[in-house]
Structure 1
Amino acid sequence: MSSTNSRRRTIEVAGRWWRQADQFDWLSGYLHARGLATATRRLMAVVSAALILMALGMLGTRDTASALTLTVCAAACAAGIAYVVLWLRRWPSKRQSLLMGVFGSMLVLLGAVMHPDPVIALMTCTGLVVPGAYFAFFHHTRAILFNLLVATSAGAICAARLLAAHDSDVAAIAGFGLIVELNIVVPLVIQTVVRTMGADVVRSDHDALTGVLNRRAFYERATALLTSPSSELQLLVVMIDLDNFKHLNDTYGHLAGDEALASVGWALRQSSPGSAIIGRAGGEEFLVIATLSPAAADLLPSTLCAAIAALPHPVTASVGAAVTEWDAVPDAASAIESLIATADAAMYQAKRDGGNRALVRRAASRLRN
């Protein structure tokens, strides 16, 4: 029975580890909010430049390189230059980041197995720990295991070549073992540290009563959001203020007021798109920021208003929203303040009109350079 329970727990832990969500979005927001994004981009540019050095190293091993070698070297150089330029110019999207890691891993694999010297080829395989560490830092378990599979395959091929060329079974086994160990231990340590940090960040960023972000965390994430604009979407900022909340507290008590606030936080999370940033501005005020299609942006404020009115509590809300098209934001902090001010004015107008309604206003100008 004990053995069965132990196996079940092991399977459950492995399942949770396998299903861990990609951490690119929250970690990107954290780095932007802490002012570390620029330094991280420069560091990633330096790491990306290693692909260029790998290509030059391959070319320097033969007087006459084969067409395949030249092709791989050209691809590695082009990828390295492209990654360096991308990281120096801006923060990549999650898809771009994942593809960079996958492509980089495959290029290192090709560079290792194509190297004419089996000793150097086996040593080159240790470079696969770099994309493995990158996946562990920014992405998820599935990406780490993909890189481990690539590293194991490359290590096995190069170790077999070394064994065939020099009949050195000890060196081949030791080299292969080192490659596998590095690509297991290093990513797991990094992933554990980042996940632990992420859990602490989540706990410190959320309002304990409502479950949404506190004011500080909301502004940090909203500011980070504005650093990666899209001309295909609209930016929506929603200000929500509960109607006659003081009367609810005075009539039913503060415990009822706290229950209503907790329910409002739940309703906002359920009714907002998954990418929305939801925060408690203070007291009975809430903020939502999202990037949506024009039709969805027009609909969301009234949807949030109706969701609050439908709660089993005597509470309604006045909802004001500011919506704008956007391509680029020269000053994210000022843009957020401007949009919140517009949404706040719309919210007060909705309250003067009787409350329990939503009013949407278009921002005065587009947020662009």
Structure 2
Amino acid sequence: MGRIRQWWGQPDNFHWLSEYLGARQLLRFTRFMMGTIVAALGAAPLLMLWSPSGPHSPIGRAVAVLVAVCCAAMAAMWFTRWPTHQQSATFAVMSNGCIAASCLMEVNPETALLGSMAFAALAGYVAFFHSVRYLTLTLCTAAGTALFAAWEIAAAGDVAMAAAKLLVVTVGVLAVPFSGQVLVHLLSADALNANTDPLTGLRNRRGFHRGARELIAASTGDPPPCFTVVMVDLDGFKKVNDTQGHAIGDRILIAVGESLRRASPAGSVVARVGGEEFLVAETTPASEAQVTAERLRRAVAANPWGVTASLGVASVTLLSIDGDTTRRMVGHLVDSADAAMYEAKRAGGNRIRHSGAAVFRT
């Protein structure tokens, strides 16, 4: 029973797995793979409109068109951007409805039972990126759809055929997600040990330095962009743990991490590098570098627990630099931002201090 509770309570995998794929330059490939799969599934009900075995009633044809439109919208999302967590969860729920509707509108129950195999691909995605609750929803929807089609086959007199096909569908739909969960467990162990903070799902210190170097390598522009590092340290956090307990403290850390993530533009590097210390790295035009810390300070201060943060900022204008210089530069900026953060803390907290700007070149 304890193992079942542990399995049911497994956290959502979306954020850390997205970071994992991003660190390995696989987000683009995954987006196009998902977009292609969804587009193909959306084309199937449209093609059935021209089949003698396809839906002929007005309701059935309307459902086919609606499913195709929904799939086209979801495919467009995948082709254009990596989804947010909420968009991904919505995609999982909508896909359940689209697959079930496509199967149930089939005139031939054998075709409907075969079509329910599409749940295997969806269940695989959900097993990788989302919690057991979403996987349970997918498997229950798949089971209900397959059982309905099998019941129709059995009602027509071929009970053996219904049982055989239902068995094949069940094995196919279950094998993918459970294999996926095993793989996710192995990947999570690697990611958590290497680059990811297990509590917040943000990068850890090692992941920050790696992501910062990749961000610098991808930064170009004329005039050269400004690379900014912000050290964020929560004010009086030890007192929060002592008075409210570590469980509340963990909830605050998770909420602050999510606030920093949301307040940072796409492509930024956000990390938890200590107990209550966070690092954020961004590339911006030099004229906008000074507003970065204030945006982050307000994001932290907006939390419902009344926790504030002291922030230290260090920035540099990026010119032509090599890999070794980049490594040293990131380390220097982190140290400078850390020193500036302590100045803000000594000044009373909930403040920002800047270490000044510099220029690094080869």
TM-score after normalising by structure 1: 0.65
In 2: Cα distance, 1:110 partner to 1:355 partner: 62
Q: Which residue in the other structure is 1:310 paired with?
A: none
Cα–Cα, structure 1 residues 346 and 113, in superposed 2: closer, same or farther, change >3 Å? closer
In 2: Cα distance, 1:122 partner to 1:64 partner: 15
- Is 2:85 the partner of 1:85? no
Q: List gaps (5 residues or longer) in structure 2.
A: 216-227, 234-248, 261-269, 282-291, 316-327, 357-362
Deviations 1:213-241 (A, max 9, x none): 5533124567999xxxxxxxxxx963279
Deviations 1:149-180 (A, max 9, x none): 11111111111111233x22111001112222
- What is the Cα deviation at residue 183 of structure 1? 2.3
Aligned 8 A contact 1:152 1:179 in 2: no
Match of 1:320 among 280, 293, 312: 312
Q: Which residue in the other structure is 2:221 paired with?
A: none
Aligned 8 A contact 1:151 1:179 in 2: no
Deviations 1:67-125 (A, max 9, x none): 21122112111112112211111101111111112211211111112111122111111
The aligned amino acid for 2:312 is: G
Q: Which residue in the other structure is 1:61 paired with?
A: 51
**Identity over the aligned pairs, expressed in percent?**
27
Match of 2:92 among 87, 101, 106: 101
Deviations 1:280-324 (A, max 9, x none): 49xxxx642399776344689x9455xxxxxxxxxxxxx51479x
In 2: Cα distance, 1:353 partner to 1:127 partner: 56
TM-score after normalising by structure 2: 0.66
Q: Which residue in the other structure is 1:129 paired with?
A: 120
Match of 2:352 among 355, 360, 364: 360
Q: Which residue in the other structure is 2:102 paired with?
A: 111
| Correspondence 1:138-177 to 2 at 5 A | 138-165=129-156, 167-177=157-167
The aligned amino acid for 1:47 is: I
Q: Which residue in the other structure is 1:75 paired with?
A: 66
In 2: Cα distance, 1:109 partner to 1:354 partner: 56
Q: List gaps (5 residues or longer) in structure 1.
A: 1-10, 226-235, 242-266, 306-318, 324-336, 365-369
In 2: Cα distance, 1:114 partner to 1:194 partner: 34
Cα–Cα, structure 1 residues 222 and 102, in superposed 2: closer, same or farther, change >3 Å? farther
Q: Specify the SS of the correspondent of 2:116.
A: helix
Cα–Cα, structure 1 residues 362 and 72, in superposed 2: closer, same or farther, change >3 Å? farther
Q: Which residue in the other structure is 2:28 paired with?
A: 38
- What is the Cα deviation at residue 26 of structure 1? 0.6
The aligned amino acid for 1:320 is: G
In 2: Cα distance, 1:96 partner to 1:297 partner: 24
RMSD: 4.3
Matched residue count? 288
- Bigger Rg, structure 1 or 2: 1
Q: Specify the SS of the correspondent of 2:56.
A: coil
Cα–Cα, structure 1 residues 66 and 146, in superposed 2: closer, same or farther, change >3 Å? same
